[in-house]
Amino acid sequence: MGLLFGFFLPQAAKFHTKGITKILLQASVVCLGFGMSLSEIVRVGRSGFLYTAVSIVFAMMLGLIFGRLMRVTATPSFLISAGTAICGGSAIAAVGPIVAATEQEMAISLSTVFMLNSVALFVFPPIGLALHLTQTQFGLWSALAIHDTSSVVGAATKYGSQALAIGTTVKLARALWIVPVSLVAMAVRKTERGTRIEWPWFILVFCLAAAARTYLSSFGPVYRLLSCLGKIGLTVTLYLIGAGLSKEALRQVGVRPLLQALALWTVVATGSLLLICSGWIRL
């Protein structure tokens, strides 16, 4: 519905989604924390740290190589690589100001990532079912291979509750890498003094919500309500992401950035799936 709205009523879609998607996504993720155990979050986050670090470094390097081969301008190439490697639109929004990206370069990168997010939301659950992936395997795969947290949660929710818990936790662990990547970008690009890094504070609040659910169990009914509201909020977020895509956005993306993003995403998704199915990556 969001995609249809964005394509046929682009101006209305732009008005409704401006500034809302990011806030709603972060609030919804925090609410999901009230439905998860802190001990499970720590266990999954610790187990997935090595996979996260290796996959981010690999995706960043490969993305920059693809961008160079396809003659994509340096800044969009870097933003697309960061968005694919870490957490989609959140990473692009954080790194963009540091590398002095223009409004058009931000739009190109965000539109590319959001388009692939929409595809992932539809194709990942059927692929997981066809390959008989377990809940744990699918949650890990979606966290490693889908760009944005919202789409990871959307795909994992369709697959099962355990996949949702693992996918969300590992994805949030990946989001923490916004900070070191931003610092590296600042050092390499030597941008002007005073550039501010957008810290992902909502991840800390997510952990506090899980801690409250774990150690203050007397508020169980409230936590269940908040967790339910989180899932509803993510559904709305996915609608807004779809509504933010328009024919104009597709024209802005062009062929080369889209090919770079598609090639990088294909390698990351296929490679991580093969490693998970073969047992090289597991929790």
Residues 262-274: pLDDT tens digits?
A: 999 999 999 999 9
Q: Are 110 and 258 in contact (CB under 8 A)?
A: no
Q: Give the pLDDT confidence score for residue 228 in this predicted structure.
A: 86
Q: Are 223 and 17 in contact (CB under 8 A)?
A: no
Is the pTM higher than 0.75? no
Q: Give the pLDDT confidence score for residue 246 in this predicted structure.
A: 67
- Which candidate, 89, 101, 84, 64, places its Cα nearest to that of 200? 89
Q: Give the pLDDT confidence score for residue 267 in this predicted structure.
A: 94
Q: Give the pLDDT confidence score for residue 165 in this predicted structure.
A: 84
Q: Which regions of the chain are under pLDDT 50?
A: 191, 193
Q: Give the pLDDT confidence score for residue 200 in this predicted structure.
A: 61
For the chain, the distance separating the N- and C-terminal CA atoms, rounded to the nearest angstrom, is 36
